[in-house]
Amino acid sequence: MVEQIQQFASQVKLVKVGGSGHNALDLTLACYLGRAIERAPSARFAIVSKDKDFTPMIIHLVDHNVKAVSHVKMTADATHATLSQEFTDAGTA
């Protein structure tokens, strides 16, 4: 995952979570995602995670006209195509 993130270094911001707990990372991600949506409401957002707990949040965002997808598989040669296809499949292209 680290090597894949490095390929997109200019588009990725790593954030140290200031605590621990069952949902500490999920809540931190939701906070940063909300802030990013406020700054760029017409941008496209993707959550790269196998965690299905993000699905209700993604559904909520899409219902409110935010271009968002989750559970994106990152591969060096197919990431852009995968993201584009997921946005298209979600009806948010």
**Residue count (the chain):** 93
Residue 92 has pLDDT above 50, yes or no: no
pLDDT for 3-28, tens place per residue? 777 777 787 777 788 888 888 888 88
> Of residues 5 and 63, which shows the higher confidence score?
63
Residue 45 pairs in a beta bridge with 68
- Total-model pTM: 0.66
Report helix, strand or coil for 44.
strand
Q: What is the pLDDT of residues 31-42, one digit of tens each?
A: 999 999 999 999
